[in-house]
């Protein structure tokens, strides 16, 4: 084979490779990409240098998620707009309470128009009782759950302690994780000092591994809430995939909530599924 023939073969191979690359909305999760327009709906072109070179389609964006200088009333009004536009959705707000004024929180929630969605404190289950059905919460329009914590307790806890692989500690002021008189399980998975550049690594496989670790520590109970930094950053499915996993485990025992649908062919669950959607 002469040199010219070799060059022709190499050129043909390059043309073939380019032709096989995805673009224009055809790229799937973790496919290489050059812009958001290359990725399928619900995916975005993103770079996580700690996990892969270049850019890939992931379930995340790089928008500004934390408008730290924004007044609370503005954020709460966004929540009100969401609840108004989505009458079957439920929102949970977990606050680090820095408010000193008496009834200060009540006033700002009232001013934001959120009290009409408020889930009454008297209806919150005690001593391990079950929460009401989602359908009942929607029917009663009690679709906003608000939890608060005392500032001094937040300041006494470092985030890094909850990020050691294979270990799921509970906060010093909390009941043991396996205390079944407590009906909800919250997993915090973020460092003491927020660091956006490495959040894409934290919010991926490491996060899902921790959810499995905390399942055992909580007496074989899956978490109901997950708290992370920069939730839209990941090396793939990220916090969204973690929630799909939790909802799948809670709903039908599968690794992905999409596998809980009758007739699903998802490989995330090999068990026979019979889901009651009534």
Burial of 202 (0-12, 13-18, 19+ CB in 10 A): buried
β-strands 56-58, 44-46 pairing: antiparallel
- Percent helix, strand and coil across the chain, each to the nearest 5: 40, 10, 50
Whether residues 205 and 240 share a domain: the answer is yes
CA distance 16 to 20: 6
CA distance 238 to 224: 17
Given this model, what pLDDT does residue 66 score?
A: 53
Q: How many domains does the chain have?
A: 3
Residue 111 lies inside a defined structural domain of this protein: yes
Residue 132 lies inside a defined structural domain of this protein: yes
Whether residues 76 and 45 share a domain: the answer is no
Give the CA count within 13 Å in the CB-facing half-sphere of 6: 3
* Structure-block tokens of residue 211: 């959810």
Residue 78 lies inside a defined structural domain of this protein: yes
Residue 248 lies inside a defined structural domain of this protein: yes
Number of neighbouring beta carbons within 10 Å of residue 4: 8
* Structure-block tokens of residue 187: 């997993």
* Structure-block tokens of residue 127: 């001593």
Output the CA–CA distances (angstroms, integers) from residue 2 to 7, 8, 9, 209, in the order listed. 9, 10, 11, 55
Burial of 246 (0-12, 13-18, 19+ CB in 10 A): buried
Domain range enclosing 246: 158-260
The model's pTM: 0.73
Output the CA–CA distances (angstroms, integers) from residue 8 to 5, 19, 115, 273, in the order listed. 5, 17, 71, 54
Helix axes 104-111, 72-85, angle to 10 degrees: 50
Residue 163 lies inside a defined structural domain of this protein: yes
Residue 18 lies inside a defined structural domain of this protein: no
Whether residues 40 and 82 share a domain: the answer is no
Among candidates 23, 29, 27, 26, which has minimal Cα distance to 237?
Answer: 29
Whether residues 109 and 72 share a domain: the answer is yes
CA distance 133 to 117: 16
Per-residue pLDDT in tens (0 to 9) along the chain, 278 residues: 443 333 333 333 333 334 357 989 999 998 999 999 999 998 989 888 888 889 999 987 655 555 555 788 898 999 999 999 999 999 999 887 666 666 778 889 999 999 999 999 889 888 878 889 999 999 999 999 998 876 554 444 456 777 888 999 887 778 888 898 888 899 999 988 888 888 888 988 999 999 999 999 999 999 999 999 888 888 888 899 999 999 999 989 999 998 998 877 766 675 544 433 33
Beta strands in 66-143 (DSSP E): 91-97
Given this model, what pLDDT does residue 4 score?
A: 38
Whether residues 131 and 202 share a domain: the answer is no
Given this model, what pLDDT does residue 42 score?
A: 86
Domain boundary residue among 156, 191, 210? 156
CA distance 64 to 100: 28
Whether residues 171 and 251 share a domain: the answer is yes
β-strands 144-150, 91-97 pairing: parallel
Given this model, what pLDDT does residue 145 score?
A: 94
Whether residues 164 and 232 share a domain: the answer is yes
Whether residues 129 and 144 share a domain: the answer is yes
Given this model, what pLDDT does residue 156 score?
A: 47
Whether residues 94 and 175 share a domain: the answer is no
């Amino acid at each position: 084979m002469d040199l010219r023939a070799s060059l022709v073969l190499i050129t043909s191979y390059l043309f073939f490779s380019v032709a096989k690359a995805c673009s224009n909305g055809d790229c799937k999760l973790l496919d290489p990409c050059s812009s958001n327009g290359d990725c399928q709906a619900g995916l975005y072109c993103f770079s996580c240098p700690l996990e892969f070179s270049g850019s890939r389609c992931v379930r995340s964006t790089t928008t500004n998620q934390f408008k730290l200088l924004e007044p609370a009333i503005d954020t709460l009004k966004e929540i009100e707009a969401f609840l108004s536009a989505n009458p079957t959705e439920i929102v949970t707000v977990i606050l680090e309470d820095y408010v000193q004024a008496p009834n200060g929180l009540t006033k700002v929630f009232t001013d934001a128009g959120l009290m009409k969605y408020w889930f009454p404190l008297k209806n919150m289950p005690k001593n391990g009782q079950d929460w009401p059905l989602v359908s009942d919460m929607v029917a009663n329009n009690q679709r906003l759950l608000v939890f608060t914590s005392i500032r001094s307790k937040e300041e006494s806890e470092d985030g890094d302690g909850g990020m050691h692989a294979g270990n799921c500690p509970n906060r010093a002021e909390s009941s043991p994780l396996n205390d079944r008189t407590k009906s909800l399980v919250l997993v915090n998975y973020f460092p003491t000092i927020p660091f956006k550049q490495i959040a894409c690594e934290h919010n991926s496989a490491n996060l899902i591994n921790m959810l499995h670790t905390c399942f055992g520590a909580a007496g074989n109970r899956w978490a109901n809430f997950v708290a992370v930094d920069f939730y839209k950053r990941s090396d793939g499915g990220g916090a969204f995939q973690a929630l799909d996993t939790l909802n799948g485990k809670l709903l039908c025992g599968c690794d992905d909530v999409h596998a809980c649908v009758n007739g699903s062919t998802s490989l995330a669950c090999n068990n026979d599924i019979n889901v009651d959607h009534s």
